[in-house]
Homo-oligomer: A and B are copies of this chain.
Amino acid sequence: MAEKRYHHGNLKECLIEAGIDLINEEGEKHFSLRRVAALCGVTNAAPYSHFNSKEELLNAMQNYVTNQFTAELKKSIKDEDLDSPTAIIKLGKCYVMFFIRNPQYFDFLFSQSSVRVDLNMNDDGANNYPPFELLRKLTFRVFGKMGLPQEEIKDIVISEWATVHGLAAIATMKGISYDHDWEQKIEDIIVHE
């Protein structure tokens, strides 16, 4: 039982994590600034010392989850041969399975999200959405080695992202019934391209 102090000491991070917990347990619908504040043992307006609005806290929470997502994606290709197509398949499978394991996160991350991506792929992709950037770099590496022209690879990148993102969207829809093993089926579908 932590003693009740005037200064919380770690409120900013506590708000972010409590907010994510709240979304996991009750859904974004029942999320509110005041409830998150209460969960951290703090009053109404305390969050405004760290965030200028509810939306800013939600953005911070999205970044937190996105970092977690990106870390898992990176780990999924850690021991793979980065010049082989199997790495792309591993990455795509991880993309979908992350949201099958955490269905709440899909809507949370992508509905009214601040994902930034240059689909023209002209610049260095520095401020692109990190999961997309992982997929983009890996795909250019693999298909570049195979001698495919840049423009064709661009189409492949978009196609790959659409496939895995679409599969994640479908798999996490609330009214979906599916008896089979997603992990297996996803691999079949990705490989089949």
Contacts and interface: CB of A to CB of B under 8 A. Distances in A.
A188 B58 CA distance: 37
Interface in A146-191: 155, 158-159, 161-167, 169-170, 173-180, 185, 188-189
Contacts of A74: none
Contacts of A193: 193
Copies of this chain per assembly: 2
A117 B166 contact: no
B169 A169 contact: yes
A178 B119 contact: yes
Nearest to A160: B166
Interface residues of A, number: 41
A29 interface: yes
Nearest to A161: B170
Contacts of A158: 167, 170, 185, 189
Contacts of A52: none
B155 A110 contact: no
22 contacts: A28-B112, A110-B169, A111-B111, A115-B175, A117-B170, A119-B170, A119-B177, A119-B178, A120-B177, A120-B179, A120-B180, A155-B185, A159-B189, A161-B170, A162-B164, A162-B166, A162-B167, A162-B170, A163-B163, A166-B166, A166-B169, A193-B193
